[in-house]
Amino acid sequence: MAEKPRCRAVALISGRGSNLQAILDGVASGTLPVEMAAVLSNEAAAGGLTRARQAGVATRVVSHRGRSRCEFEAELAATLEEFAPDLVLLAGFMRVLGAELVARFQGRMLNIHPSLLPEYRGLDTHARVLAAGGTEHGVSVHFVTPVLDGGPVIAQTRVPVLENDTPDDLAVRVLRQEHRLYPLVMRWFAEGRLALREQQVCFDDLPLARPILFTGEDPCDG
């Protein structure tokens, strides 16, 4: 019997690519059954491109500078299609994608966001949690829709806000959990356990009533 082809993934990044590195490490160790087909960036100087090249992954730069959003997204979509991805990962990609491009990859585009969505959509989440006097923060992985950070949430990890935390302190604690949660959700997708059906997250063919809570061990093993 022929071996089932691996899930082909393409990551979109804009910066240093720390989540990308966690993904590449998972692929290299064999714990993440995904083929990283390419890493694309809108920034030629993005550090994550170096990480990808060092791992032997193809890279492309699709710059947004000096062009319309329509032109940028048309080239981005064409470049994505070149690699025929089963899964598109937003991993620190600092551009808001339009409805047409998102619809093209409906149900196979994921994003990771540093908050317990639907709270604190957008930027500067760590500072905003502290300013609001929050006692809990976290990270969410969700399917991408045209609504910024508004797609159906798949899984979350909670992180305590400690006394005297600064935004940088909180960012470090949250990022550590990002590196654990994103590869786990990717694995579920690659194994065929995760799907988006009519804007409803389904896991093992059953709709999720709420996001899966990750506390350190895979809550869906067994």
Over residues 106-133, the pLDDT tens digits come to: 999 999 999 999 999 999 999 999 999 9
What does pTM read for this prediction?
0.94
Q: Alpha-carbon distance 181 to 162, whole Å?
A: 21
Q: Alpha-carbon distance 157 to 211, whole Å?
A: 10
State yes or no: pLDDT of 221 exceeds 80.
Answer: no
Q: Which domains does the chain have, with CATH numbers?
A: 7-105 (3.40.50.170), 111-215 (3.40.50.170)
Catalytic annotation on 64?
Answer: no
H or E stretch at 7: strand 7-13
**Residue 51 in contact with residue 24, Cβ under 8 Å?**
yes
**Residue 111 in contact with residue 182, Cβ under 8 Å?**
no
pLDDT in the model for residue 1: 42
**Residue 148 in contact with residue 90, Cβ under 8 Å?**
no
Residue 198 is classified by DSSP as T
The residue annotated as part of the active site, out of 113, 126, 137, 142, is 113
